Amino acid sequence: MSGYQPPMNAGPAGAAPAGSEDPGKTMGIIGLILSFLGCLAPVGLIISIVARSKSKKAGHQNTLATVGIVVGALVTAGLIITGIVMGVALGGVAQKCAELGPGVHQEGGTTYTCS
């Protein structure tokens, strides 16, 4: 016997040891759920990012956290766009009321109620 032992196959580099628990799994699920809940989407986005980071450091691939990041980013972007559009619309109404003064005004088929 020569004493030679072939190297053991440890799997891909950076992979988690078999049977180890993913530390970001629960946070990934929570982040994904929050990402779908409108005003809580930014919180879900942040939690999903933290969960994915924890999982990655432990050598796990957290798909739910990744999906939470995508959904959270899209919903958050939608919230920002909606806020901008509403702000511009309300600013236009406020400006029109400043021009017209208090009362109910009919102009171009639109009724403005200004106080």
Report CA-CA distances (Å) from 56 to 5, 19, 60: 32, 16, 5
In a domain, 14, yes or no: no
Q: 83 in a domain, yes or no?
A: yes
Give the domain extent around 62.
Answer: 25-114
In a domain, 53, yes or no: yes
pLDDT at 11 over 80: no
Q: Flag whether 98 is in a domain.
A: yes
Give the span between the Cα atoms of 51 and 58, in whole angstroms: 11
pLDDT at 43: 97
The DSSP code for 37 is S
Looking at the structure of the chain, the number of domains it has is 1
Q: What angle do CA 24, 25, 26 make, to 5 degrees?
A: 100
Residue 33 clears pLDDT 90, i.e. is over it: yes
Q: What is the pLDDT of residue 115?
A: 87
Higher pLDDT, 79 or 20: 79
CB 58 within 8 A of CB 24: yes
